[in-house]
Amino acid sequence: MYVAVKGGERAIDNAHAWLAEERRGDTSVAELSLAQIREQLKLAVNRVMAEGSLFDPDLAALAIKQSRGDLIEAIFLIRAYRTTLPRFGHSHPVETADMACDRRVSATFKDVPGGQVLGPTFDYTHRLLDFKLAAEGDLPEAPTAAPRQEPTPHVTSFLRGEDIIQTEPHSDAAPKDITREPVAFPADRATRLQTLTRGDEGFLLGMAYSTQRGYARNHAFVGELRIGTVAVEMEIPELGFAIEIGEIELTECETVNQFKGSKTEPPQFTRGYGLVFGQTERKAIAMALVDRALRWRELGEDNVGAAAQDEEFVLSHCDNIQATGFLEHIKLPHYVDFQSELELVRKLRREAETSTAQEAAE
């Protein structure tokens, strides 16, 4: 006698209990604290904040702990949390020229006003496993210098003085908010940039790399890459003026791209732009390259049919929360649809066999 499978509810509860145990691991090993994750896995925290679209290192650390280090799962936890938060308003645009830079490099000039500051970078480290880290110990203190007090001008502003780089159209119009309005195509640049900045780092890296290898090649120089903190100011209606509500860490990348001119534009340098929460350098550079590739229409370039030029393709597929959800949903039961396919295939086979038999008989 067949009895339909039941007990889904108990199975789910038991699975979650087991998951909690696995998350904790061997209890003889000390438990990770959120502060440890926040301080020592900072780049993971940054990625979760960037793609989760919520600047809160403590919550990101909690999400990483809860997700057992699965960063896409952690990003998902943050997104699901952020969507429940009330929206009080919006800040003034942040002034990245006033950024307190921890790192600031330009690949286009040997030296620039404000200087080249390497900052805490993996660049030029030799990728040799450091076995000393396996044994916990004290660190020698890093040398320090007095921080620069004055604003650090953008490198592209020097090119603008010479009128050799494209000028961006100025607008004070409020940009659309992709978390409040569905994205429609063609999308304006603000919508594209919003989507890219929370897009999956791996996806954008692959897209950007494809432009470097010739799929809509547009040779990019890193005009400037800067990482540091900026003040966030917000107009408070009750006060009638803007006050500083906090500081956030950002990575900003402006690329300078060769451009030989098109039917509509003179020869000049053009730009790609990346701006991402936290120290997220790879993502910011990738974002700038993809942004530049997506600008072919406004610059009068040819669409060569490359994936990175196709805004509907890029914007519809760069969100890892959408992508992972839909990918993994195929684990859910589909036996009703499969049953209808079974019947169809059986019927098609029957008919194919009958007609073959008939042909053989004739």
Positions in the binding site for other proteins (CB under 8 A): 1-12, 76, 79-80, 82-84, 86, 179-186, 312, 316, 321-322, 324-329, 332-337, 339-344, 347-348, 351
**Coil, strand or helix at 333:** coil
Residue 314 and residue 207: Cα distance in Å, rounded? 8
**In degrees rounded to 5, what are phi and psi of residue 115?**
80, 165
**Coil, strand or helix at 16:** helix
Residue 261 and residue 191: Cα distance in Å, rounded? 26
Nearest approach, Cβ of 70 to other proteins (angstroms)?
Answer: 13
Nearest approach, Cβ of 173 to other proteins (angstroms)?
Answer: 19
Respond yes or no on whether the N-terminal peptide bond of residue 266 is cis (omega within 30° of 0). Answer: no
Nearest to other proteins of 75, 99 (CB atom): 75
Nearest to other proteins of 36, 355 (CB atom): 355
Nearest to other proteins of 60, 159 (CB atom): 60
**Coil, strand or helix at 126:** coil
Nearest approach, Cβ of 252 to other proteins (angstroms)?
Answer: 26
User: Amino acid letter at 129?
Assistant: L
Nearest approach, Cβ of 189 to other proteins (angstroms)?
Answer: 17
Nearest approach, Cβ of 30 to other proteins (angstroms)?
Answer: 30
Beta strands in the chain (DSSP E): 100-105, 220-236, 241-257, 270-277
Nearest to other proteins of 121, 316 (CB atom): 316
Residue 358 and residue 351: Cα distance in Å, rounded? 11
Residue 356 and residue 350: Cα distance in Å, rounded? 10
Nearest approach, Cβ of 214 to other proteins (angstroms)?
Answer: 23
Measure the CA dihedral 278/45/55/244, to 10°. -60
Nearest to other proteins of 2, 124 (CB atom): 2
**Coil, strand or helix at 3:** coil
Nearest to other proteins of 157, 339 (CB atom): 339
